[in-house]
Structure 1
Amino acid sequence: MLRALKAKHKTMKLLYILIAGNVLSALVLAAPTDEDALNQDTPYIKELLRQAKAAEIESFLDQKTDPCKDFYAFSCGNYKRINSALNLQKDSTGLFETLKNGLNRKILKMLKTPHDTHDTPEDIQVKHFYESCLGIKELKFKEKLKRIIAEFGTMPMLEGSSWQEDDFDWVETTARINHRYGIIGIIGVEVTTDMLNNQRNIIYVVRQEFQLESRGMYLNNETAFYRQNYKAGLQYFFEGILEVEKELAMKTAKEVLDFEVELANGLVDNKEHHDLKDQLELLTVADLRKRYAPTIDIEKLIFVSMGEEISDQIYEFNRRYQQNVVEVIKRTPKRTVANYIFYRLIWKFLVKSGKSSTTLPKLCLTYTKKYFAKNLDNMVYRRYKNEKSSREMDNMWHQLKSTFREALLSSPELDWIERSTRNLAIAKLEAMTLELNNYSKENLTEDFADLNLQTTDYIENLRQVFQLGAKQMRQLFRQPPKPIEEAEILSYTPANNPIENTIKVPVAMLQPFYIWSDVYPNAVKFGTLASLIGHELIHGFDDRGRKFDDKGISTDWWDEKSSSNFLKRRECFTKQYGRYVYDGIQLKESTAQSENIADNGGTRLAYAAYRKWFESQITNSSSVNQVLAKETLPNLRYSANQLFFISFAQVWCNDVHPSLKALQVSTDEHTPAKYRVIGTLSNFKEFSKEFNCPAGSAMNPCEKCILY
Structure 2
Amino acid sequence: MNTYFQAIVIVFTFVTRITTTPITTNKLDVIQPVDQLNSSYVRDIMRLSKAAEIHNYMNGSIDPCDNFYNFACGNWLKINPANSIQHATTGFFESITLALNRKVALVLKSGVQDSDTETDIKVKKFYESCTNIAQIQSVYRAKLKEIIAEFGEMPALVGDKWQEQNFNWLETVGKISLKYGKDIIISIDVLADYAKNTENRVYIGPSDLPLESRSMYLDNVTKIYREGYKMTIADKLKRYLGINEQVAKETAADIMDFEISLARGMIDDKLGLDLDEMTQLTTIDNMQKKYAPDIDIRRLLDIRLGSDFNETIYEFVPEYQDNLKNIIIRTPKRVVANYIFYYLLSDFQLKNAKTRASQEVLCIAETKSHFAKVMDNMIYRKYNTKTTEMDIELVWNKLKSIYRSKLRSRELNWIDLDTRKSAIEKLDAMKLEINSYTKDDFTKEFANLTINGEDYVENVKSILSWGASQLLTKLHEPPKSLEAGEILSYTPANIIIENTIKVPISLLQPYYLWAAVYPNALKFATLGTLVGHEMVHGFDDSGRKYDKDGNSRDWWDELSTKTFVEKTKCFSKQYSKYIYGGRNLPKSTAQSENIADNGGIRLAYEAYLNWYEDAVRSGQDLVFETLPTLNYTSKQLFFITYAQLWCSDTHPRLRDLQTSVDSHVPSMFRVIGPLSNFLEFSKEFNCEVGTQMNPLRKCAIY
Please give the per-residue CA displacement for 1:599-632, whole angstroms capped at 9, x wherever unaligned: 000000000011111111112217xxx31x2110
In 2, Cα distance between the equivalents of 1:509 and 1:30?
Answer: 17
In 2, Cα distance between the equivalents of 1:258 and 1:63?
Answer: 50
Which one of 588, 591, 594 corresponds to residue 596 of structure 1? Answer: 594
Please give the per-residue CA displacement for 1:182-226, whole angstroms capped at 9, x wherever unaligned: 111101211111122101011110211111111111111111111
User: Residue in 2 aligned with 1:457?
Assistant: 455
User: Residue in 2 aligned with 1:704?
Assistant: 698
User: Residue in 1 aligned with 2:689?
Assistant: 695
Q: 1:617 to 1:28 in 2, by over 3 A?
A: farther
Paired residue type of 2:659: V
**2:668 is the counterpart of 1:669:** no
User: Residue in 1 aligned with 2:414?
Assistant: 416
Paired residue type of 1:563: T
In 1, Cα distance between the equivalents of 2:106 and 2:548?
Answer: 41
Residues 31, 102 of structure 1: 8 Å contact kept: no
Unmatched segments (≥5 aa) in structure 2: 1-22
In 1, Cα distance between the equivalents of 2:121 and 2:390?
Answer: 31
**2:489 is the counterpart of 1:495:** no
Aligned ranges 1:365-376 → 2 under 5 Å: 365-376=364-375
Paired residue type of 2:367: T
In 2, Cα distance between the equivalents of 1:86 and 1:653?
Answer: 15
User: Residue in 1 aligned with 2:310?
Assistant: 311
Paired residue type of 1:31: K
Q: 1:630 to 1:405 in 2, by over 3 A?
A: same
Q: Cα RMSD over matched residues?
A: 1.5
In 2, Cα distance between the equivalents of 1:356 and 1:225?
Answer: 30
SS at match of 1:655: strand
Q: TM-score, normalised by structure 1?
A: 0.94
**2:350 is the counterpart of 1:356:** no
User: Residue in 2 aligned with 1:163?
Assistant: 162
Aligned ranges 1:398-417 → 2 under 5 Å: 398-410=397-409, 412-417=410-415
Please give the per-residue CA displacement for 1:358-392, whole angstroms capped at 9, x wherever unaligned: 31101110010001010111001111110111111
User: Residue in 2 aligned with 1:334?
Assistant: 333
How many Å apart are 1:88 and its aligned residue?
A: 8.5
Which one of 63, 67, 71 corresponds to residue 64 of structure 2? Answer: 67
In 1, Cα distance between the equivalents of 2:157 and 2:541?
Answer: 49
Residues 179, 307 of structure 1: 8 Å contact kept: no
Worse-matched range after superposition: 448-457 or 600-609: 448-457
User: Residue in 2 aligned with 1:96?
Assistant: 93
SS at match of 1:287: helix
How many Å apart are 1:497 and its aligned residue?
A: 0.6
User: Residue in 2 aligned with 1:46?
Assistant: 43
How many Å apart are 1:108 and its aligned residue?
A: 0.3
Residues 266, 325 of structure 1: 8 Å contact kept: yes
SS at match of 1:487: coil
User: Residue in 1 aligned with 2:32?
Assistant: 36
Which one of 125, 132, 137 corresponds to residue 122 of structure 2? Answer: 125
Residues 175, 188 of structure 1: 8 Å contact kept: no
Q: 1:281 to 1:430 in 2, by over 3 A?
A: same
- Give the percent of matched residue pairs that are identical in Structure 1 and Structure 2: 47
Q: 1:501 to 1:667 in 2, by over 3 A?
A: same
In 2, Cα distance between the equivalents of 1:87 and 1:152?
Answer: 40
Q: 1:28 to 1:533 in 2, by over 3 A?
A: farther
In 1, Cα distance between the equivalents of 2:627 and 2:606?
Answer: 21
Unmatched segments (≥5 aa) in structure 1: 1-26
Residues 26, 102 of structure 2: 8 Å contact kept: no
Q: 1:37 to 1:488 in 2, by over 3 A?
A: closer
Q: 1:33 to 1:557 in 2, by over 3 A?
A: closer
In 1, Cα distance between the equivalents of 2:631 and 2:181?
Answer: 57
In 2, Cα distance between the equivalents of 1:646 and 1:156?
Answer: 58
Residues 29, 513 of structure 1: 8 Å contact kept: no
User: Residue in 2 aligned with 1:56?
Assistant: 53
Which one of 548, 553, 556 corresponds to residue 555 of structure 1? Answer: 553
In 2, Cα distance between the equivalents of 1:556 and 1:633?
Answer: 47
Residues 285, 310 of structure 1: 8 Å contact kept: no
Paired residue type of 2:249: M
Please give the per-residue CA displacement for 1:278-328, whole angstroms capped at 9, x wherever unaligned: 111011111100000111001011110113332110011000001111111
User: Residue in 2 aligned with 1:650?
Assistant: 644
How many Å apart are 1:150 and its aligned residue?
A: 1.0
User: Residue in 2 aligned with 1:18?
Assistant: none
Q: 1:79 to 1:340 in 2, by over 3 A?
A: same
How many Å apart are 1:330 and its aligned residue?
A: 1.1
SS at match of 2:271: coil
In 2, Cα distance between the equivalents of 1:556 and 1:330?
Answer: 40
How many Å apart are 1:29 and its aligned residue?
A: 12
In 2, Cα distance between the equivalents of 1:136 and 1:28?
Answer: 22
Worse-matched range after superposition: 94-103 or 302-311: 302-311
In 1, Cα distance between the equivalents of 2:463 and 2:427?
Answer: 38
User: Residue in 1 aligned with 2:20?
Assistant: none
How many Å apart are 1:355 and its aligned residue?
A: 4.8
In 1, Cα distance between the equivalents of 2:407 and 2:389?
Answer: 27
Please give the per-residue CA displacement for 1:458-516, whole angstroms capped at 9, x wherever unaligned: 11000010011011122101101101111311111000011111100011101110122
How many Å apart are 1:37 and its aligned residue?
A: 8.6
Aligned ranges 1:519-538 → 2 under 5 Å: 519-538=517-536
SS at match of 2:114: coil
Aligned ranges 1:198-597 → 2 under 5 Å: 198-351=197-350, 354-410=353-409, 412-597=410-595
Q: Which has the higher contact order (CA 8 A, sep 6+)?
A: 2
Q: TM-score, normalised by structure 2?
A: 0.95
In 1, Cα distance between the equivalents of 2:29 and 2:173?
Answer: 52
Please give the per-residue CA displacement for 1:542-601, whole angstroms capped at 9, x wherever unaligned: 011101101111101001111111100000000001111112122111011100000000
In 2, Cα distance between the equivalents of 1:58 and 1:30?
Answer: 22
